[in-house]
Structures are given as structure tokens and as C-alpha cells.
């Protein structure tokens, strides 16, 4: 209800701003005053985004090869701003191309415009006139609470630059005293002393080499999306309203921690799916004794109504057959990672209204079993292809990871034979943009038209994922592989693709050679022979030995 009231208030403000823009003086001579207006630098240079929620992406774009993506959350509209020097009593035209739900473009304290829904890029435009003594203007674009990611590109502020004859050409002084104030496995926090300027400092950019990795309007920032156990060197530069940039600060180096981030942490998990809801569930301890497997991925946590977790949406979270199975697995020296979501059913992602509510539901599961890891199996149009729900899941995983030190978080999603699809790429990009600190991105290389060569298709898909992680997070091959997971389908897939024990052995050996983080398959229930039996819930549809795929998986060491 509070979000709705804020939305109504904002719409009223927009209407007033538009009314104030009527009967303006003649438009000034056109010239785009904005720095990095199309984000073609590949960085946020010139722009500052609240909450570290902005990033530069390669798709979707309006023109060129880059655009802004900013992930509005339940508590932050992901506002991105740039302050420029302007002339008093002058009319300017602000325009830009935006995409998403409830996207705004305007000038702080002045006129703005918005669109309630833009499935493809839509141009927004608004004019405003500066005050009698106004020499700077802050341009903004933002989304709305809980509406997910919006995109912006080719933003233009047309009019004469500030300062009259020549304008402000004096750069701020270099920031001093840059220091690292804290690290995690994927972040480094920095602070520095303020710069001075003849007119005024409007912001600071944090550099790693020549790349801007964070921006701030204050004297501190946190750089996110870093690799674990890795040394980074940073500098900071100040900028003013006229776009003048200071010299670099002193350089400072910091090394990320070894826990919680993947590369270098030693997190490895061989964990085939076990489902107590159907498929003649086998005795977990019998399978453990026969194969040496220690971990199981327990499926599935769904909604029993609203934002309330339960097994399969109907069995109690505790006290039922699922808890009895988990207790037996642990008594035999093993452990479990619950899988939240899946292809079908009433899922928590769409039912929990905010990242905070979804995190609370996840926390119920974590607390019920004292978990070391959780897996969110994000599939289908209600979660995987729903950008609002994607961001909600990432936000929730970020929260529970912060609240449960040492907890490992896993995302499992579909793939093409060449690697992540559009929505998979978006999920990875948003994980970085939101600082979700995901430990393992697990692809499901089946039901993707892989054809006869399931080994080749699986390796191609996994390498595609590795390359996407490298380009998004700036990791090397080893670190990227250490964040990769594979979850296959033993025997016949739903699309009649065949993975034999020999094929799965080759996949496992490749996974060990490249030191990926996780190996799983669907499912132990199906790890029994029924040659010519088709796709069944209690057997693989091919000729094999009992628990043969589980035995092979138990040999995964990473």
C-alpha cells in the first residue's frame, strides 16, 4: 500500500512539473551537454546510480553497442544522475530512449516525464528553463519501487553549456587519503578525503586500471562483483558540474576474502536430485551406501499459498517425510541442498511481493534445517522470463547470504547449446549489478535440442556460461569455471535426447578437469533401468545399472 501511495504522489509531481514547463522562452542552440550519453564507454563514467544498482549492458540497446541497465528494488528506484553546467534563464530540452515499466526522465527540482510501460525502446522528452541564477542542473532517470530493471540509452541534454565565454575549465583537486575500509569475498569498500573545486565537486569515480568500477556523490564507495582471493588496485578521481576531472588519487590495493565467492574457496558439490513427491523415492541411505554419494539436491520447495514455503507446495516444511529423509542422510554422514522453484507449480518468487519477503521465506527453509547451501531453480515464464521476479530472487539471495555467513547460493536455469540464452545472460548481468554474490550458476544442458552429441553440447553450453561469467565479472578462466555448475538429465530427456552412463562419465571427467563447482542430474528417482520404457518418473528409459549415474556423479571432485 505504501508503494502505491508513493506512486500516486510521484505521478502528481510529474503532472505539476509538466504544467510548469508551459510558455517557455525560445529554445537555446542545441548541443548535447551530457558526458557518456550513450554509455558507449562501457562504464558509468559521468553517471552516479543509487545503491550501486546501475550497470552497462550490451543488450538491449537503442543504438551503438551499450546501454544503461538499472535494477529498481522494493526500496530503491535505481536513480542514475549526472550534473552539468548550464546557463541561467535558458531553455533546455532533455530527451532519452528508455525501456521497462515506470521509467522516468527529468531534472531534479524541475520538469520530468515518464512512461508506465515500454516493452521496446521509447523516446521520452521534456523541456525546462533554468532559474535566474542557476548554473548547474542534475539530470536523472529512474525506475519505480519493485518494478525491476529498466534500460536507458542515448540521453541528450540540448542547449548551451554553462559559464558563458569559455565556461568552467578548472578541475577539482585530486582526492587524498584513499584507503580500503573492508573486504568480503566479492567486494572492497573504500573511503577517501574530499576534493575541492572552484565551483563545486559533484561526484567521484572509482577506477580499476582505466575502467570505472563504481561512482559516488560522497567520499566512500563499495566495489562489487569481484573474484574471491584476488588482489585489486584502485584509484579515485573527482569531477565537477562542467565535466572537469581531477588527477587520480593515491593508489590502494586490497585482496578479497576467500569465503563465499567461488574461485579459490574450494566449494564443490556432487548433488543429484532426490524428489520425495513421486517416482517411487528410493531410500537415500541405501543409495549413499551403494554409490558413495554424500549430497542430495532435495526437490522442490514451493508455495503452500502466498509467501509460505513447503515441500512441493503441500508437504509440511518440517515433521514430514522430507525432514525424515534429511535426518537420515545427515545421520549417514551426508547433507542436502533444497531446490526452491522448478519448472511448474505455485512458486515463491511470484508470490512474495518484495525481495525482503522472499528472503524471509528462504530464511524459513534455511533455519528449519541449518543449511549450508540453497539452490533456486529458476525456470519458465513466471520466474526465469519475468524480469521483476528475476531481480526479486537475486535481491532475496543477496539478503540471506548477508544474514547467514558461509551460506552458499546456487542459481539453476536452462541454456542453449552455446551457453546462456537472453534471460540467462540477463540473470548473470543482474547478479553483478545487484551485488548478489552468487556462488554457482548451474545450467541444465538438456531439452535444448542437443541432438545425439550430448557430451559436445553440454561442454559447449558450459563453456558458453564460463565465457559469459568472464566477460561480466572480469574473471579469469579458472575463477569463472569455479562458479559453473552442470545439472544434466540421466537417460532420456523430455525431448528424447539420450545421455548414457558413458556420456555422463565423460561429462564428469570434463567437469573435474576444468574444476567446476557443481555436478547434479535429474534424478536419483530415475537412476534405474527400463530400456525402451520412454521418459518415466521412476527410471531412465535406457539400459543401465541401478544408481549408475549417482555412482558416476559421486566421482566428481572438481
Q: Which residues are designated catalytic?
A: 379
- DSSP helix/strand/coil, 358: helix
Angstrom distance (rounded) from CA 338 to CA 75 = 28
- Give alpha helix (H) positions in 180-332: 284-291, 321-331
Backbone angles phi, psi at 468, to 5 degrees: -65, -40
Q: What is the DSSP letter of 35?
A: S
- DSSP helix/strand/coil, 270: strand
Angstrom distance (rounded) from CA 421 to CA 488 = 17
Grid cell for residue 367:
533455519
Ramachandran bin of 496, using left for φ above 0, alpha for ψ from -120 to 50, beta for the remaining angles:
left
Angstrom distance (rounded) from CA 511 to CA 553 = 10
For the chain, percent helix, then strand, then coil, each to nearest 5? 25, 30, 40
The length of the chain, given as a count of residues: 558
Angstrom distance (rounded) from CA 318 to CA 366 = 12
- DSSP helix/strand/coil, 265: coil
Angstrom distance (rounded) from CA 322 to CA 328 = 10
Contact 47, 56 (CB under 8 A): no
Grid cell for residue 104:
522516468
Of 439, 485, 427, residue with least CA distance to 458: 485
Angstrom distance (rounded) from CA 278 to CA 79 = 47
- DSSP helix/strand/coil, 473: helix
Grid cell for residue 442:
548451474
Backbone angles phi, psi at 403, to 5 degrees: -90, -10
Grid cell for residue 151:
534500460
Q: What is the DSSP letter of 51?
A: G
Amino acid at each position: 500500500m505504501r508503494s502505491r501511495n508513493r506512486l500516486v504522489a510521484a505521478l502528481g509531481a510529474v503532472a505539476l512539473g509538466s504544467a510548469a514547463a508551459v510558455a517557455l522562452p525560445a529554445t537555446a542552440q542545441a548541443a548535447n551537454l551530457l558526458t557518456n550519453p550513450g554509455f558507449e564507454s562501457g562504464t558509468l563514467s559521468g553517471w552516479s546510480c543509487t545503491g550501486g544498482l546501475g550497470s552497462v549492458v550490451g543488450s538491449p540497446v537503442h543504438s551503438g553497442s551499450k546501454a544503461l541497465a538499472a535494477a529498481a528494488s522494493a526500496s530503491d528506484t535505481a536513480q542514475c544522475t549526472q550534473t552539468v553546467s548550464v546557463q541561467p534563464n535558458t531553455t533546455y530540452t532533455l530527451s532519452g530512449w528508455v525501456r521497462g515499466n515506470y521509467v522516468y526522465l527529468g531534472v531534479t527540482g524541475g520538469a520530468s516525464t515518464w512512461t508506465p510501460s515500454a516493452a521496446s525502446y521509447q523516446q521520452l522528452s521534456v523541456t525546462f528553463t533554468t532559474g535566474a541564477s542557476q548554473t548547474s542542473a542534475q539530470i536523472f532517470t529512474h525506475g519505480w519501487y519493485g518494478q525491476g530493471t529498466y534500460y536507458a540509452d542515448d540521453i541528450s541534454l540540448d542547449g548551451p553549456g554553462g559559464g558563458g565565454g569559455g565556461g568552467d575549465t578548472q578541475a577539482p583537486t585530486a582526492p587524498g587519503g584513499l584507503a580500503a575500509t573492508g573486504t568480503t569475498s566479492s567486494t572492497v569498500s573504500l573511503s577517501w578525503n574530499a576534493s575541492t573545486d572552484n565551483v563545486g565537486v559533484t561526484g567521484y569515480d572509482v577506477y580499476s586500471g582505466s575502467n570505472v568500477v563504481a561512482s559516488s556523490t560522497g567520499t566512500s564507495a563499495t566495489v562489487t562483483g569481484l573474484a574471491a582471493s584476488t588482489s585489486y588496485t584502485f584509484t579515485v578521481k573527482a569531477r565537477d558540474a562542467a565535466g572537469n576531472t581531477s588527477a587520480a588519487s593515491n593508489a590502494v590495493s586490497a585482496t578479497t576474502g576467500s569465503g563465499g565467492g567461488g574461485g579459490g574457496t574450494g566449494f564443490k558439490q556432487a548433488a543429484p536430485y532426490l524428489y520425495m513427491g513421486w517416482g517411487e523415492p528410493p531410500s537415500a541411505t541405501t543409495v549413499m551406501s551403494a554409490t558413495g554419494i554424500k549430497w542430495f539436491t532435495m526437490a522442490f520447495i514451493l508455495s503452500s499459498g502466498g509467501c509460505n514455503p513447503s515441500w512441493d507446495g503441500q508437504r509440511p516444511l518440517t515433521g514430514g517425510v522430507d525432514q525424515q529423509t534429511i535426518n537420515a542422510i545427515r545421520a549417514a554422514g551426508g547433507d542436502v541442498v533444497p531446490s526452491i522453484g522448478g519448472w511448474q507449480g505455485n512458486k515463491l518468487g511470484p508470490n512474495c511481493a518484495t525481495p525482503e519477503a522472499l528472503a524471509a521465506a528462504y530464511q524459513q527453509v534455511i533455519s528449519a534445517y541449518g543449511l549450508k547451501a540453497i539452490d533456486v531453480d529458476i525456470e519458465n515464464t513466471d520466474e526465469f522470463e519475468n524480469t521483476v521476479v528475476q531481480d526479486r530472487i537475486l535481491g532475496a539471495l543477496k539478503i540471506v547470504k548477508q544474514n547467514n555467513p558461509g551460506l552458499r547460493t546456487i542459481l539453476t536455469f536452462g541454456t542453449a547449446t552455446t551457453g546462456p540464452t537472453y534471460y540467462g545472460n540477463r540473470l548473470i548481468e543482474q547478479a553483478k549489478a545487484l551485488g548478489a554474490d552468487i556462488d554457482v550458476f548451474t545450467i541444465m544442458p538438456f531439452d535444448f535440442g542437443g541432438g545425439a552429441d550430448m557430451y559436445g553440447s553440454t561442454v559447449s553450453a558450459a563453456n558458453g556460461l564460463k565465457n559469459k561469467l568472464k566477460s561480466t565479472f572480469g574473471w579469469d578462466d579458472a575463477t569463472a569455471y569455479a562458479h559453473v555448475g552442470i545439472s544434466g538429465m540421466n537417460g532420456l530427456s523430455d525431448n528424447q535426447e539420450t545421455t548414457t552412463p558413458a556420456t555422463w562419465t565423460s561429462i564428469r571427467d570434463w567437469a573435474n578437469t576444468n574444476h567446476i563447482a557443481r555436478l547434479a542430474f535429474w534424478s536419483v528417482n530415475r537412476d534405474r533401468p527400463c530400456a525402451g520404457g520412454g521418459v518415466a518418473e521412476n527410471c531412465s528409459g535406457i539400459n543401465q545399472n541401478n544408481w549408475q549415474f549417482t555412482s558416476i556423479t559421486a566421482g566428481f571432485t572438481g
